[in-house]
Chains A and B, each alone.
Chain A
Amino acid sequence: MSNTDWFQQLTDGFRRVGEAFGSVEGARLIPSFSSTPEEEYTPDPEKREEDSRLDPTSTWVREAETSPSEAFTRDFRDSCSSFTPQYFIDGSVRSVRALDGLEGNFVFPVVIGQVGAASVTRNDRSEPIKHLLETDIVLLIPLSKLSDTLRIELNRRLAGTMLAGRIHDPLHRRDASGADHYDDERDYTELRSRAARRAKDLMAEVERRVIERCVDNLSDESQLVVMDGSLFSMLKETQIAEERLHQTIGISKSFSMRPLLLMEEYLNRRDCIRRLVNLREGERTDAIELHIDPDWVATWYQRIRPRERVESPLDGIVKVETHFADYPACESRNDRRRLNQSARDWSVAWDQITNVVYSERMPVPFHEERWHALLYPIYCCERLLKSSFLSIEVLRGLCTRIIPT
């Protein structure tokens, strides 16, 4: 399908949404386009997500080092890495409040979301090249709170169009057993926030598919897939099969301190956070086995920029997560397994991965706000995705076609 055909079909789909509202008595759409992406209403979403994920009742930690250090920090730069980062993955979402919907006295936001994920690899000349790019455009409308008439009319009119199956309810969630639930929420602000979150979930789904395809393309054990963000987002939100994360590492630019607090508690020491803040370039913290039941990752923090070159003490530090299938993670809080009895020296493995991450610190997208924690290939994914999204101006143009004249 050519770009022109695709866009024509999209326009047609949007027009039919407007027609559906227009055809139901008491329902209508009100122009209220906001050119500010909905994501901007939620500052530092990664950290907030992690905070919300780290539920105290189900979160616990263990040491993840074969040979724990005295200082909780260690230099990793002498290690020779046997790992090669093969694919870098990032997901992105851009959603805007397109319109306000009105049915009876229920006012709700209609959000257009563009979601996608991309993977980047490198050619023989070390130049970043596109590997995979998957994007989608969705409409977020609280369908469960609309009248049956309007919901049926929407489904009827969109049948056979490009938007069929692309209208999502921000109040919908599916539990681990696969059962669907619809929250009872009518507050406009909360609906808006839910829509943004739902768009993020949809993005995670796309990201999962991209990860799976990248993992399928790996040719040997030394190759790694590097994704932007936490592996927990895949494990919790997309229910990705654990074995697919065997060679995937997650890099987080911002993070919660809670695992370190738990570690201080577990190790009965009070300097883990201080050690993190004082990490020097080329140092990492001891690895932590972080459990959010029933899932786990082995994680550590490492400094990739010199401390004296960044503004705040935590700038230049990234959090790395791994989920090796052969790692002997504790199965419960009472599990007393010994890592030094494992067939593999995991401290060495973490050092090697740390080295790989450190070697990706150049080039630097210095003009980006979070340059100090950004890996360039991930940044390339971000650019690739953002350049493939429709601009705010185009979305605004689409919205004008939703409302029948």
Chain B
Amino acid sequence: MAIGKTSSTRIQTNTADEFSFWLAVGQRINPTDIVVTGNPDESQSYGLVTRIENMSDSESHLDNFVSHDFGDAAAVPRTQRLSTDVARCVVLKNTQNIYMPVVSGRDVEFADADGILTALGIGEVQQADPDFRPLPAGVIELSNGVRAPAIIDARYLLGPEGAHFNISGISGLAAKTSYAMFLLNILLQRRDDVAVIVFNVKQDDLLYLDQPAVATTQEGSIDLQQVPEERRHFWKEQQEFWNVLTAKPRPFRNVTRFIPRGQFGRRGAVRVEYNTYGRDLVKPIMYSYNLNDVRDKISYLFTGVEDPRGTLEVLLSDIEEDLEDSCISCGSGKTFRKDLVTNFDDLIACFNRILVDRIQYRQHHFATIGSFLKRLRYFVGSGTSGLFVGTKASNEATLAHYVWTTRPGQVRVIDIAKLQDFERAFVIGDVVNEVYRLFSRDVSYRDVPDELRQQVWRGQELDLDNPIEPPSKLVFFVDELNKYAPAGKEVSPILRNLLEITERGRSLGICLLGAEQFASDIHPRIVGNCSNKVYGRSDSTELGDQAYRHIPQDLKSLITRLDQGKLLLQHPLYRQPVQIRFPRPVYRQPQSRRAQSNESTAQD
């Protein structure tokens, strides 16, 4: 049914890229609705509504002032002014790829579900490209109720055509984490060659990914009979979303949780606890760091330390080089000495001695060494939450080993919610580094402890000197990305690794799924390398930043008023960002009860 007719005027013409249409009386549309109109050559042009204006025959505000008896607000005209709603659209697609301007006076209709895919350019690629990898990244919902999956090409998410996904928006409303989890869930349901690493940064939000939020039937649909009446409508709509997405509303499978060593796990302490907000966690693995784990990553600890002259960076580089042999060499001639360093106490004692005895350490200034020592004492001593230890207990794992042994289909949840900021940065830097090393074939099977190797590659013939074969695709989700990849700062070791991954991860098969409140806070090279972007509600000041310059002004206005659960998705195949909705999490949320499910949720 026609909802209006295309309109071109002397002042506002229809072009190859944009067209206008007036809206029939009583019709309702919204920005980002997708409409279709016919052309004289029998082709169809699809348009995305970007702006809706109400036009009247009043030429100026003065006309309206005069029209009320020269300014009498109580005056009521007997006739209402002629006015109409006019929508401006950007052309998304012409079915015959003929981009002639849309002519005036043609019927305009809402696109149907197939039409939406055609409009996005997906329909054509689907038919023409056998390597196309469709992945529903949300649900497009038009004002007339038509829904269609927002299909993206996974080759632009996981490589090789493009990679990475960035989600921005203010906290609370934007539901960035929920969307990221939805996307990962869909990805894991559709692809069996993908592994996922997730950092839990808020409370116990992501610690129950494998526990259902709602009961499901044998067929995998939401069991509405078991849902309280007042929530039934909500879950019914959620099921409809999943139906559109042709996916199942099930929680994650094959989830392993890594929990940091807790506050009673300080060096030398007898009692060890998990340092987490989580409760009732199934088979969590505790992780911690001793000096051996961090010897080539000491610099990650100093990410947030101001180092305007770069002296600290050079010192850290030298220390890391020395620690490869577990020794610190200092002095020269008669004063030369080589101290064995096996734990943090040794390292602190060694540099304390260098300072007290005024022994030269590779020409570094004592002030620099003092600064290093002061902070190191804090980081691994008084400041640590228990993550850094002198000696690891037998049940304390090294994260790097688990990163190396990540297999397709696995979800690794690394809890860093209760860690100090510098510890969080360290853990993320460590994981990113190890992921990059794994995919760069820098890690061999011999590097993996025997027991773990046996567990992962049981019964397989391995040449231990061969590099470990990583999963073909690995996605890791980093929330609050701005803390680890900030804009306008010097390049820290963690940022350097993140840049490596975003710039070269596409060809390696590593995908960064990052989320932050403000995309403007992120290093431009990180944002620039993200092929896919999702915007939640953001304020206009933020949207004025260069990071958003590619978004049309009308859509920016839309972003400022996006409702909860609505996002704007930008994908390389789409000519314009589209508004999407997505189902709420189907894994247990911290405040919810654990629900019964007929489907088994496998554990590691």
A376 within 8 Å of B (CB atoms): yes
**Tally of A interface residues using CB under 8 Å:** 21
**What are the residues of chain B within 8 A of A122 when measuring CB–CB?**
78-79
A360 within 8 Å of B (CB atoms): yes
Query: B57 touching A377 by the CB < 8 A rule?
Result: no
Residue in B closest to A377 when the chains form the complex, CB atoms: B79
Which residues of B1-53 have CB atoms within 8 Å of chain A's CB atoms? none
Query: A127 touching B80 by the CB < 8 A rule?
Result: yes
Contact A126 B66, CB 8 Å, known A366-B59, A367-B59: no
The 6 closest A-B pairs by CB, nearest first: A363-B67, A362-B77, A367-B59, A366-B63, A364-B67, A364-B66
The docked-state distance in angstroms from the alpha carbon of A383 to that of B63 is 17
Contact A383 B82, CB 8 Å, known A306-B70, A364-B66: yes
**What are the residues of chain A within 8 A of B70 when measuring CB–CB?**
306, 309
Residue in A closest to B81 when the chains form the complex, CB atoms: A363
**What are the residues of chain B within 8 A of A361 when measuring CB–CB?**
69
Contact A362 B68, CB 8 Å, known A367-B63, A383-B57: yes
Which label, helix, strand, loop or mixed, suits the secondary structure of the B interface? loop
The docked-state distance in angstroms from the alpha carbon of A383 to that of B80 is 15
**What are the residues of chain B within 8 A of A365 when measuring CB–CB?**
57, 63
Using CB atoms and an 8 Å cutoff, list the residues of chain B in contact with chain A: 57-60, 62-64, 66-70, 75, 77-82
**What are the residues of chain A within 8 A of B62 when measuring CB–CB?**
366
The docked-state distance in angstroms from the alpha carbon of A295 to that of B109 is 55
The docked-state distance in angstroms from the alpha carbon of A363 to that of B81 is 7
Query: B82 touching A128 by the CB < 8 A rule?
Result: yes
Interchain residue pairs with CB less than 8 A apart (30): A122-B79, A126-B78, A126-B79, A127-B80, A128-B79, A128-B80, A306-B70, A360-B78, A362-B68, A362-B69, A362-B75, A362-B77, A362-B78, A362-B79, A363-B63, A363-B67, A363-B79, A363-B80, A363-B81, A365-B63, A366-B58, A366-B59, A366-B60, A366-B62, A366-B66, A367-B59, A367-B60, A371-B66, A380-B82, A383-B82
Scoring A residues 353 to 381 as 1 if CB is less than 8 Å from chain B, else 0, what string do you get?
Answer: 00000011111111100010000110010
A125 within 8 Å of B (CB atoms): yes
The docked-state distance in angstroms from the alpha carbon of A360 to that of B77 is 7
Using CB atoms and an 8 Å cutoff, list the residues of chain A in contact with chain B: 122, 125-128, 306, 309, 359-367, 371, 376-377, 380, 383
Residue in A closest to B67 when the chains form the complex, CB atoms: A363
Residue in B closest to A360 when the chains form the complex, CB atoms: B78
The docked-state distance in angstroms from the alpha carbon of A128 to that of B80 is 7
Residue in A closest to B59 when the chains form the complex, CB atoms: A367
Query: A376 touching B63 by the CB < 8 A rule?
Result: no
Query: B77 touching A363 by the CB < 8 A rule?
Result: yes
A372 to chain B, nearest CB (A): 10
Contact A364 B63, CB 8 Å, known A306-B70, A309-B70: yes
**What are the residues of chain B within 8 A of A127 when measuring CB–CB?**
79-80, 82
Residue in B closest to A306 when the chains form the complex, CB atoms: B70
The docked-state distance in angstroms from the alpha carbon of A128 to that of B58 is 14
B76 to chain A, nearest CB (A): 8
Residue in B closest to A384 when the chains form the complex, CB atoms: B82
* Interface-centre pick from B58, B66, B75 (highest chain A CB count, 10 A): B66
Residue in A closest to B10 when the chains form the complex, CB atoms: A391
The docked-state distance in angstroms from the alpha carbon of A70 to that of B535 is 76
Contact A376 B59, CB 8 Å, known A128-B82, A309-B70: no
The docked-state distance in angstroms from the alpha carbon of A384 to that of B63 is 20
Query: B60 touching A125 by the CB < 8 A rule?
Result: no
Residue in B closest to A371 when the chains form the complex, CB atoms: B66
